[in-house]
Structure 1
């Protein structure tokens, strides 16, 4: 009997669902809130708690900024609810493939395009909510007036990026539609290459619309920044020379940018007098490297969000080194990232994490592990590390684990007189296991950039992740054994018998089955990581329903958390892809490779140099930024080297070098999160610590675990089989 189902989603139904579903969800969410509905749990967004500086003055804005804020808020909320569609579509696809032998293309393509549009339209909302990550090395330490002046001066890079994307995005869109309606001609009525044949012009239009929304929100932010600067200048005592110079320089650069825009509008081949177009065309790649990355570091520390630093500088160098025609590189770099299938797993895994957190799973998880392990010396710290490992397998995002465990485990340990440094260190180290333990979001992005199988990366990182978790647990147990007062066991009166422990395990059966299912279908090759993420999110909704937490307010909170966290990651990818893409186009990748190989270093010394550079970058750069800047340059170089082994240990199979380096990179990124003075985990935990916990204590708490991570890194380098054995079993 033939059970095949050959349904293909009609185009009109696809667009109708995307247009009408958010409005229906808004109705139910608003009605639930009006009836007293509340949001359970906290916030699992990948944003440092307390990241925004306390300036003591909130700019009031005006009628225009309030209108823009409402537009950004509505558009963000509108596209956030699209995430609710994906779990059901991917569950449908996997069911049809295995139950009815009817695989589809439209399911994958429709969700990839949906998320691509969501990324673009979410940028303005993330900017309004302060969701774009900035490097706060100098910015946080500046006086309020200087901080406001920095905001004004560096905003020029934001506007360079958004205006360039607005113009080139419109051209990119217009080329994909009929020239009877617009003025495109290159790819009239462009459609996808699958049997679904969806038209691309609505998707490409989002490049223009997303840039427009972002430009509007940036204008509102500029107005507020100007109000803040005027306020702080009135209140400031002492010299205001530095701030005034910054604003003046920003004004001059803005005026010159307007002049260059006129040049682009009125000329084609010959620039206007005094235009800087192609003024750096004769600069060599060595000087260009210093200029590009030197400027990047300067602007980064000034406090502009990373996405707009890299994007704005990328646009500037496209124009200064190349010409105005090279600006059309922007949409051609961003669109492939929008429509990259594997990147769709990022919002799905974040959504799964958010739903599980709202369902109360994380609190229950910690309670169960604590009751089982609390009787051991340092049992509560060990329970924290074990819970963090399990949590990493559920969520895949670092901020979620560190902040959530900080909120749950830190008060419990401090209440039982744990040494603050052991308590904080175990939370930070355990939380960063999300980088290694599948389903790691960082591994997904690395796989896309390095063209490495995400499934192999997941398998390759599993043993090193569990090894590090065991080393963390052994360390805190050893410290607790040496000095029980530093990490006392659970009081006898709080302990439970085996019967109660087994009863508690029943509460965790559903999430454990969910995690096993998600990882199992990835490791066995039954489904791709994206499909596994979709199924996992569908399962998370079921788990939430079992816990009576599947409410409209919780779904709303999960969708909004997913939107901000995903927008932060994807806009960094968009900006960095322009900056790095241009640098590689100019021969930068070859230059760095020749520079390193020409130094006469052995392959392992080259690897050591890369590790040092990555740790240094990790002290002040966001993990997505490091990946986008370093991996495209490092991976081709490392793949050309031969690693025969150190100290008599076996070497690395040349075919496995990229996989091996990928896991080494992930372990290194764990170190970057804990590296003082600017490792992100340090600030994640600071946001949830009691006021009496100082940054100096947090820094000291990271050092022992940094040492353990360095040892883990060395073990992975010395014993490549820790990485390659499991993928070899699964994939041959």
Structure 2
């Protein structure tokens, strides 16, 4: 009997759902809030939003722009609710009715691509774009606002270039009769669904417009803050004035270059800087590009706009105005990359599970099972973090939530604060390695490596590190029980109660096994697994009576800001690094390292040191996008024959092996003082008497364990390659 279902989603229905569904959800969310319903749980975002003290009041214009950004942010955030049902439908059709679809994958990929672009302005309003707070956070308030005004020029360079090139990119995809386009008329996708591309490409322009408006509103507040702090003498007025004057000069020159672009085609105006660096060699260009990048980064501009703005500058200075059209051609493939769709889905899954109270229940169950051991509460924290990593793949979720739950419990039972804090931070960073790691997804896209193989390859090292963390705290508790005492006898429960508690975790455990199982067995792609996992998370939330409109709203908004942070860094870095590689940067680095006469393992060691150093200052997405496109082609050309007589790495496994080594290294970046992200995640939930010095000291033993784990993975590559080869070879 033929059970095939040949349904293809009509284009009009697809666009109608995207337009109308958010309005329906807004109605129910607003009604639930009016009835007094509240959001349960805490925040699972990857974003660190710092308190900057004085808040400029703005004016009617900034209030209006905030309202526009807020509306469109909410509007596209609710699109995330569609994806779990579409992917569940796709898997059902494929296996129950032998009717796989292309439109399901393509529709969701394009939907998330549009969401990324429109979410940028909302993330800017919410302070969700990550900045490097090296010198910026230590500046006086007046100098800090002056730096904001100076560096905002690079933000506007990026957004204006995106706006203009995005419009041209869009106009080429529609009818020549209406939008003066060329090359393509009514461009459609290359699948049998053949959906129109011009609404998707329009988001490059519209997202740039929203971002530009929100940037203008932010500029107005920065000006208000500057005069406020200058009036109160909160910083060096001379230094601040120099910074502002420098910003004005750069802005004026930028306007002149815009005039040059508008009035010339082939011959630049006499004072224009167009094409002025065309004769600079790749060595000099490397120094200029990355030297400028470091300077602007430490000045406090969000990473996405540092790399994007500087990328635009060098496109213009080394090339010409026509090279600016490289921008949309670099961003659009990232918008429409199928694998990257797993990022918002896994973050959404994390948010839904957290709102359902699963994380609190998970810790309670593990604590009751293991609390009787020496350092049992710290071990329970690490085990719970490992399970949590397998559920969500989000570092911020694990560190912040376990900090809120486990830290008070350990301090109440007189744990040494450094053991308590260190176990939470180290356990939380396991989300880098334990599938479904979001970092592994991005690495797979950039390095052209199978995400499923990366997940399998990182599983054993991740569990190994979790075991090493647990063994360390157990040893500390055994050698000195006062540092990490076991659970009091009166608080322990019998086996019957333990089994009853375990029953409460049956649904989320089945969900984790389902998600990882369908990835590892190849039944579904990681994106489909993420969609099914999110659908399952909604079911689990309903079972726990937490599937409410306020919780769905909070999960959608958390997903939007965290995803926008990641994706806009990808957009900006792809322009900067893409241009550098186009100019021969990758070949230059390869020749530089090979010319140094270093062996393969010494080259790897240099890379590891560079990554650790970068991890002390940059976030994990930025490091990946700046380093991996250069490192991976170099590492693939080397032969790793083994260390200390151990077996080496087969050439076909080098990219996979290096990917897992990279993931282990990035774990270290989260714990590396002075700017490791986990250090600040945990500080946000620590009692006031816990100092940053204590937090730094608590990270050192676990950094040492991570370094040992990194060494073991390098010396014994089969820790990485055995499981993927067993499954896929």
Give the TM interval when normalised to the shorter protein.
Answer: over 0.9
Match of residue 63, structure 1, among 60, 65, 68: 60
Give the match for residue 13 of structure 2.
Answer: 13
Match of residue 408, structure 2, among 389, 408, 411: 411
Preserved CA contact (<8 Å) 1:675 1:702: yes
Instruction: Give the match's secondary structure for 2:486.
Output: coil
Give the match for residue 524 of structure 1.
Answer: 521
Partners of 1:150 and 1:552 in 2: CA distance? 41
Q: What's the offset of the Cα at 1:273?
A: 1.4
Matched, 1:434 2:439: no
Give the match for residue 206 of structure 2.
Answer: 209
Matched, 1:608 2:605: yes
Preserved CA contact (<8 Å) 2:142 2:234: no
Preserved CA contact (<8 Å) 2:143 2:236: no
Instruction: Give the match's secondary structure for 1:181.
Output: helix
Partners of 2:347 and 2:639 in 1: CA distance? 37
Cα 1:505–1:237 shift into 2, 3 Å: closer
Matched, 1:43 2:43: yes
Preserved CA contact (<8 Å) 1:137 1:678: yes
Match of residue 697, structure 2, among 670, 692, 700: 700
Give unmatched runs, 5+ long, in structure 1.
none
Give the match for residue 33 of structure 1.
Answer: 33
Give the match for residue 259 of structure 1.
Answer: 256
Match of residue 105, structure 1, among 102, 107, 129: 102
Preserved CA contact (<8 Å) 2:303 2:622: yes
Partners of 2:409 and 2:240 in 1: CA distance? 45
After superposition, the C-alpha distances for 1:61-119 in whole angstroms (9 at most, x for unaligned) are 00000000000000000000000000000000000000000000000000000000000
Partners of 1:76 and 1:238 in 2: CA distance? 36
Partners of 1:183 and 1:289 in 2: CA distance? 39
Partners of 1:157 and 1:629 in 2: CA distance? 18
Instruction: Give the match's secondary structure for 1:133.
Output: coil
Partners of 1:239 and 1:168 in 2: CA distance? 40
After superposition, the C-alpha distances for 1:153-184 in whole angstroms (9 at most, x for unaligned) are 00000000000000000000000001011101
Partners of 2:423 and 2:63 in 1: CA distance? 43
Partners of 1:696 and 1:615 in 2: CA distance? 20
Match of residue 458, structure 2, among 461, 467, 487: 461
Q: What's the offset of the Cα at 1:237?
A: 5.7
Instruction: Give the match's secondary structure for 1:689.
Output: coil
Give the match for residue 229 of structure 2.
Answer: 232
Give the match for residue 185 of structure 2.
Answer: 188
Give the match for residue 472 of structure 2.
Answer: 475
Runs of 4+ in 1 over 6 A off after TM superposition: none
Match of residue 287, structure 2, among 282, 287, 290: 290
Preserved CA contact (<8 Å) 2:142 2:235: no
Aligned pairs for 1:507-546 within 5 A:
507-546=504-543
Q: Give the paired residue count.
A: 729
Instruction: Give the match's secondary structure for 2:99.
Output: coil
Matched, 1:649 2:646: yes
Partners of 1:443 and 1:394 in 2: CA distance? 15
Computed over aligned residues only, the root mean square deviation of the Cα atoms, in angstroms, reads 0.6
Partners of 1:616 and 1:185 in 2: CA distance? 47
Partners of 2:392 and 2:408 in 1: CA distance? 22
Partners of 2:315 and 2:249 in 1: CA distance? 20
Preserved CA contact (<8 Å) 1:53 1:140: no
Partners of 1:29 and 1:540 in 2: CA distance? 19
Match of residue 125, structure 2, among 128, 138, 145: 128
Match of residue 572, structure 1, among 561, 569, 573: 569
Give the match for residue 167 of structure 1.
Answer: 164
Partners of 1:238 and 1:358 in 2: CA distance? 43
Give the match for residue 54 of structure 1.
Answer: 52
Aligned pairs for 1:484-563 within 5 A:
484-563=481-560
Matched, 1:360 2:347: no
Q: What's the offset of the Cα at 1:238?
A: 6.7
Matched, 1:659 2:659: no
Match of residue 137, structure 2, among 124, 135, 140: 140
Give the match for residue 445 of structure 1.
Answer: 442
Partners of 1:629 and 1:218 in 2: CA distance? 25
Preserved CA contact (<8 Å) 1:421 1:698: yes
Give the match for residue 238 of structure 2.
Answer: 241
Match of residue 268, structure 1, among 240, 265, 284: 265
Partners of 1:270 and 1:53 in 2: CA distance? 48
Instruction: Give the match's secondary structure for 2:183.
Output: coil
Partners of 2:228 and 2:236 in 1: CA distance? 15
Matched, 1:582 2:579: yes
Match of residue 682, structure 2, among 673, 680, 685: 685
Partners of 2:498 and 2:357 in 1: CA distance? 19
Partners of 2:235 and 2:684 in 1: CA distance? 32
Cα 1:238–1:343 shift into 2, 3 Å: closer
Preserved CA contact (<8 Å) 2:142 2:236: no
Partners of 1:181 and 1:400 in 2: CA distance? 47
Instruction: Give the match's secondary structure for 2:39.
Output: coil
Q: What's the offset of the Cα at 1:53?
A: 3.5
Partners of 1:399 and 1:694 in 2: CA distance? 20
Partners of 2:323 and 2:482 in 1: CA distance? 64
Preserved CA contact (<8 Å) 2:79 2:111: yes
Partners of 2:644 and 2:358 in 1: CA distance? 46
Matched, 1:149 2:146: yes
Cα 1:645–1:59 shift into 2, 3 Å: same
Match of residue 636, structure 2, among 624, 635, 639: 639
Instruction: Give the match's secondary structure for 2:511.
Output: helix
Partners of 2:349 and 2:691 in 1: CA distance? 33
Partners of 2:5 and 2:163 in 1: CA distance? 42
Q: What's the offset of the Cα at 1:345?
A: 0.1
Give unmatched runs, 5+ long, in structure 2.
none
Instruction: Give TM-score, length-normalised by structure 1.
Output: 0.99
After superposition, the C-alpha distances for 1:179-209 in whole angstroms (9 at most, x for unaligned) are 0111012111111011000010000000000
